[in-house]
Amino acid sequence: MLNIQVLNDKLEVEKGTKFETLAKKYQKYFKSPILLAKQNNRLIELSNTIQKEGEIIFYDISHMEGMRVYHRSVSFLMIKAIKEMLGKKASVVIEHSLHKSLYCEVRESNVTVNQKFLDELTEKMHKLVERDIPIQKYAFYREEAMQKVREFGMENKARLFRFRRASNINLYEMDGVYDYFYGYMVPSTGYLKKFQLMLYENGFLIRFPDRKNPDRILEFTDPEKISGVFMEQMKWCTLMGVNNVADLNEVITDGKFGDLVRINEALHEKKVAEIADKIYQKRDKVKIVLIAGPSSSGKTTFANRLCVQLRVLGIVPHAISLDDYFINREDVPLDEFGNKDFEDINTLDLKLFNDHITRMIAGETVEMPHYNFVTGKREYNGEYGTLEKGGIFVVEGIHGLNDLLTASIASENKFKIFISAMTQLNIDDHNRISTSDSRLIRRIVRDNQFRGRDATTTIAGWDYVTRGEEKNIFPYQENADAIFNSATIYELSVLKQYAEPLLFKIDQSQSEFVAAKRLIKFLDYFLGANGDAIPNNSIIKEFLGGSCFKV
């Protein structure tokens, strides 16, 4: 017998008991079906058996780890249904996440994705759910795994397996269909009752339950501008001939990595110049450019590159730091956990900021504040600001797209830019790369390089960072006049060499181990590449070091 603890219960269970069996006894304490277990700081599928003593924690869809399992499992359900409808080699691609949904495209020339098709697909998926088909994991030798996925038309996975160092590869099986997934699955299709398919662009969205209200499908608000950026990035990937990690690895082995970097950076520069041109076309009206985006998007480098392009057009940019408009630290509002919320918009003296900008636009000169981060108070040191003819203010900060920040400034005087690293490169056709994970890897490297923080500290604070983004940034992204995608196709091949040693330092006893293990496995798909070809004005240099800008 094994001594374990679940919630506040201490009990004995027989060695070899399934986690799923134990989960059923505690289901009454959860709002939605339990999907995953954690023991000794390792995530464990419910289909596994209990082999060790220690506390067991169960996750349902309300926890991010549970939601990842649900997304992945419903994706497999959809793929199985597609292959039943169109044949075992039929191709469907999970392109990217959009407003917490997954955008998918069917890549069969004789198939039109319309409402009739989606209705049939939905019915097929629900029938598979009703059958409660087991989802089982099997280990194959690498060559066998490559042969198996080729049977189902998954050539991109077979090419990816060439670069795997492990001799064995785990494939999941659902009623005769085999596939490879990065992460864990539910035990059977009966767990997957809640989902909805919706026509979108050239394909369809898989919509999922609301984490806070799991009985309801999350409401979908169409982020048209963000969707347009993803579609543009898909074209960029095609232009560069790199749509997945296998393509990227082959570019590296073929000695063409430098060419890929140069093309990607040229596309970035072209986009920055296009945004500068839009501002120039409105130069008689626009007096302030507001740049906002989530953590590790490369806002500072982008702002500097934009300023260079504006100067080329004869516009003189003046940078203003929102940090200097912080209220005194003692007055910072508290969040729901009773901690000072330094990312709340009310940490800024909005009245003073609006007064200063309005007066300077009108031609007045004002004394500029300076925030002392040591004392936590705003100071005045005799520095003055004004806006001369042909000038424009450039303001970078997380609240740039929120109209509360510039409530007293006329809309025609503002140009808003949203920047984020919206990764389009995927591991393969069915395993996408999370934009949040990409930004986290950037931040781990930067924090260690320039702020003396280890990966444990960065990961520990990431939930706080992302909560702030959900509250303060993403709700306003569609307010932008222009959107810049700062992701590069090549970056993870370079960043992995900096990030992996930091992640391997995290011990299993630390709570951050689960995230570190996920990131290590994720980075293992990539071949490492030398970053010498990356120019010193690249956004990636903001994280690696060696930027020509003060970042």
Regarding whether 107 and 41 lie in a shared domain, the answer is no
Instruction: Provide the residue range defining the domain that includes 389.
Output: 225-544
The predicted-structure confidence for 98-139, as pLDDT tens digits, reads as follows: 989 999 999 999 999 999 999 999 999 999 999 999 999 999
Tell me 415's DSSP state.
E
- Output the CA angle 234-422-486, nearest 5 degrees: 100
- Which residue, among 197, 202, 154, has the nearest Cα to 429 in the 3D structure? 154
> What is the SS3 string spanning 19-83?
HHHHHHHHHHHCCCCCCEEEECCEEECCCCECCCCEEEEEECCCCHHHHHHHHHHHHHHHHHHHH
Place of tokens 């009623």: 175
Regarding whether 414 and 325 lie in a shared domain, the answer is yes
Long-range CB contacts (< 8 A, 24+ apart) of 207-211?
207/101, 208/67, 208/70, 208/71, 208/74, 208/100, 208/101, 209/32, 209/61, 209/70, 211/61, 211/62, 211/67
Regarding whether 135 and 113 lie in a shared domain, the answer is yes
- Which residue, among 200, 16, 171, 185, has the nearest Cα to 102 in the 3D structure? 200
Contact 35, 191 (CB under 8 A): yes
Beta 42-44 vs 36-39: how paired, if at all? antiparallel
Structure tokens at 209: 């339950």
Q: Total structural domains in the chain?
A: 3
* Measured distance CA(356)–CA(276) in Å, rounded: 25
Domain assignment of residue 48, yes or no: yes
List residues bridging with 140 in a β-sheet: 169
Residue 152 phi, psi dihedral angles, 5° rounding? -110, 20
CATH code, domain carrying 444: 3.40.50.300
Largest CA distance in the chain: 81
- Output the CA angle 39-43-45, nearest 5 degrees: 100
Domain assignment of residue 550, yes or no: no
How would you class 198 by CB atoms within 10 Å of its CB: exposed for 0-12, middle for 13-18, buried for 19 or more? Answer: middle
Residue 218 phi, psi dihedral angles, 5° rounding? -60, 130
Count the neighbouring beta carbons within 10 Å of the beta carbon of residue 312: 11
Place of tokens 């970053």: 531
Domain assignment of residue 146, yes or no: yes
Domain assignment of residue 432, yes or no: yes
Domain assignment of residue 395, yes or no: yes
Structure tokens at 138: 């099997």
Domain assignment of residue 84, yes or no: yes
CATH code, domain carrying 6: 3.10.20.30
Buried b (16+ CB within 10 A) or exposed e, 271-294: bbeebbeebbeeeeebbbbbbbbb
Regarding whether 510 and 386 lie in a shared domain, the answer is yes
Report pTM: 0.93
What mean pLDDT value characterizes the chain? 94
DSSP output for 184-224? ---SBGGG----EEEEETTEEEEE-B-SSSTTSBPP----H
Regarding whether 402 and 486 lie in a shared domain, the answer is yes
Give the pLDDT of residue 527: 97
Domain boundary among 164, 198, 221: 221
* Measured distance CA(134)–CA(45) in Å, rounded: 13
Regarding whether 77 and 50 lie in a shared domain, the answer is no
Structure tokens at 142: 């690498």
Percent of the chain having pLDDT more than 90? 88
The tally of CA atoms less than 13 A away on the side-chain side of residue 309 is 21
* Measured distance CA(398)–CA(294) in Å, rounded: 7
C-alpha pair distances (Å), 55 with each of 4, 20, 50, 97, 105? 5, 15, 11, 33, 42
The predicted-structure confidence for 399-453, as pLDDT tens digits, reads as follows: 999 999 999 999 999 999 999 999 878 999 999 999 999 999 999 999 999 989 9
Domain assignment of residue 549, yes or no: no
Regarding whether 152 and 212 lie in a shared domain, the answer is yes
Domain boundary among 221, 237, 260: 221
Regarding whether 215 and 261 lie in a shared domain, the answer is no
Regarding whether 168 and 35 lie in a shared domain, the answer is no
* Measured distance CA(147)–CA(412) in Å, rounded: 60
Structure tokens at 481: 């006049």
Regarding whether 187 and 308 lie in a shared domain, the answer is no
Regarding whether 167 and 276 lie in a shared domain, the answer is no
Domain boundary among 198, 221, 244: 221
Residue 287 phi, psi dihedral angles, 5° rounding? -120, -15
List per-residue pLDDT tens for the chain, 551 residues long: 899 999 989 999 999 999 999 999 999 999 999 999 999 999 999 999 999 999 999 999 999 999 999 999 999 999 999 999 999 999 999 999 998 999 999 999 999 999 999 999 999 999 999 999 999 999 999 999 999 999 999 999 999 999 998 889 999 999 999 999 999 999 999 999 999 999 999 999 999 999 999 999 999 988 888 988 888 888 888 888 899 999 999 999 999 999 999 999 999 999 999 999 999 999 999 999 999 999 999 999 999 999 999 999 999 999 998 889 999 999 988 888 888 888 889 999 999 999 999 999 999 999 999 999 889 999 999 999 999 888 999 999 889 999 999 999 999 999 999 999 998 789 999 999 999 999 999 999 999 999 899 999 999 999 989 999 999 999 999 999 999 999 999 999 999 999 999 999 999 999 999 999 999 999 999 999 999 999 999 999 999 999 999 88
Q: At what angle do helices 455-472 and 435-450 cross, to 10 degrees?
A: 130
- Which residue, among 468, 450, 442, 479, has the nearest Cα to 291 in the 3D structure? 479
Regarding whether 366 and 273 lie in a shared domain, the answer is yes
The predicted-structure confidence for 146-194, as pLDDT tens digits, reads as follows: 999 999 999 999 999 999 988 899 999 999 999 999 999 999 999 999 9
CATH code, domain carrying 115: 3.30.980.10
Domain assignment of residue 308, yes or no: yes
- Which residue, among 320, 311, 329, 327, has the nearest Cα to 383 in the 3D structure? 320
Contact 448, 454 (CB under 8 A): yes
